[in-house]
Amino acid sequence: MNRPGMPPAQDSKTDLLEAARAVIKERREKAERARLQPEERRRVGFLTLLSLAGLVLVLLRPSWLAGPKAPSPESPAIVEASMRLSMLREWQRVSDFAKQTGRLPTSLAEAGSTTPGIGFEALPEQHFRLFAQAGDSLLVLRSTDSISHFLGNSLREIKNRRRP
């Protein structure tokens, strides 16, 4: 019987039914968790393997991934020799232009030059001066200069440079 102020007593069958439902629910959840674990393990294993492969590629930098290595920079002597030869070519263009037109060009572009880094200055009496920077040196070639003296050993430097 019910006492006053006390909740009504529940049936023991109802308690057993609720306990059985809780156990069944718990087993079902445990089975679902167990079923997901191998899938998670495979995913973590795959990601770990993929990360290790990426790390090895970054450390080894194979040529098929990183591309060819940049050629080593030319020595200062080769840079200067190359610039001297370029200036000689421009000297010849300006001289040819002056012979054909009877006047000096107003710029190297007018003489047909597309070489960057070489400056041109017209001087009195149909003379001119070419100038360029080669490393730390300022090279100057005047229309009255000796070509063999200006070239010096530039051809030999270029011929004897080491090839990669």
The total domain count for the chain is 2
Residue 94, φ and ψ in degrees, nearest 5: -65, -40
**Tens digits of residue pLDDT in 10-27:** 678 888 888 889 999 998
Q: Could you tell me if 80 and 147 lie in one domain?
A: yes
Q: Is residue 137 part of a domain?
A: yes
**Tens digits of residue pLDDT in 102-160:** 999 999 999 998 889 999 999 998 899 999 998 888 999 999 999 889 988 888 888 88
Q: Is residue 106 part of a domain?
A: yes
Based on the number of CB atoms within 10 Å of its own CB, is 141 exposed (0-12), middle (13-18) or buried (19 or more)? buried
Q: Could you tell me if 21 and 81 lie in one domain?
A: no
Cβ–Cβ < 8 Å for 18, 11 = no
Q: The domain containing residue 59 runs over which residues?
A: 12-63
Q: In what order do the strands lie in the sheet with 118-123?
A: 118-123, 127-134, 137-142
pTM of the model: 0.56
Q: Could you tell me if 59 and 82 lie in one domain?
A: no
Q: Could you tell me if 140 and 98 lie in one domain?
A: yes
Q: Could you tell me if 106 and 150 lie in one domain?
A: yes
Q: Could you tell me if 97 and 153 lie in one domain?
A: yes
Q: Which of 141, 139, 118, 115 is nearest to 128 (CA)?
A: 141
Q: Could you tell me if 82 and 153 lie in one domain?
A: yes
Whole-number pLDDT of residue 35: 67
CA 127 – CA 97 distance, rounded (Å) = 13
